[in-house]
Amino acid sequence: MDLAIDLLSPQPAPAEWIVWFTAGCALSLVVFRRLWLPARNAVTIAHEGGHGLVALATGRRLEAIRLHSDTSGLTVSRGRPTGVGVVLTLAAGYPAAPLLGLGGAALLGTGHVTLLLWIATGLLLAMLVMVRNAYGILTVVLTGAVFLLVSWLTGPEVRSTFAYAAVWFLLLGGVRPAFELQAKRRRGGAPDSDADQLSRLTHVPAGVWLLFFHTVAISALIGGGRWLLGF
């Protein structure tokens, strides 16, 4: 009963300086390459999780998720090779991190810090069932362990600071991958990217799909940022 009350009861918003401080920390992780390379694993988890969740939601058979040490990933699902299901599955990867950040910002905007941490832990545990390589298992387990330990062992102030930092990172980190993909395609790389596969399936230019990814990420950052900052 106490756990249910703790999950559903709103917590006071942190001091304004903490909100800005966590935003600055998250921005540093995204902007500086040496910090971004390891931190990008969290965005890859969200990306592949987005593919997997939408694959299941559209009736496809989810067979495996793999996360690699170069921060790339692969989600394998079975079903019709064409149609709405496969299009939605492919389109879900890049928007996943920003939309998770937006949902997290909505929860934090109403003070539900503990609920957010437990939802994140639950999503990571659900994803772990489908991960099929050692590095991926290690990455998801460590990420889930951090959320679980913060939820159980820290006080309200630490939980709140961690939650704001995590959501800011999803919002800000969700913007960079589409620009990275755009740069790779400009150099002639990534011929089998999500955007290129979507282009072949829908006959809509890959650049339009990239614009869609950019629009979702930037819109989520603006909307989520307003919630976090109380505007």
- pLDDT, one tens digit per residue, over 29-52 is 999 999 999 999 999 999 999 999
- Are 198 and 204 in contact by the 8 Å Cβ rule? The answer is yes
Please give the model's pTM, rounded to 2 decimal places: 0.94
Half-sphere exposure of 26 (CA within 13 A, CB side): 27
Q: What is the pLDDT of residue 3?
A: 57
Non-local CB neighbours of 178 within 8 Å, separated by 6+ positions = 94, 210, 213, 214, 217
Q: What is the DSSP annotation of 62-109?
A: EEEEEE-TTS-EEEEEES-SSSHHHHHHHHTHHHHHHHHHHHHHHHHH
Domain count, the chain: 1
- Gap between the Cα atoms of 217 and 207, Å rounded: 15
Q: What is the pLDDT of residue 5?
A: 61
- Are 168 and 228 in contact by the 8 Å Cβ rule? The answer is yes
Residues of the chain whose pLDDT is less than 50? Answer: 1
Non-local CB neighbours of 98 within 8 Å, separated by 6+ positions = 170, 171, 174, 175, 216, 217, 219, 220, 221, 224
Half-sphere exposure of 157 (CA within 13 A, CB side): 4
Residue range(s) defining the domain that contains residue 33:
2-229
Q: Is the dihedral of CA 33, 35, 38, 40 positive or negative?
A: negative
3-class DSSP state for residue 192? coil
Q: What is the pLDDT of residue 4?
A: 60
Q: What is the pLDDT of residue 13?
A: 82
Q: What is the pLDDT of residue 12?
A: 81
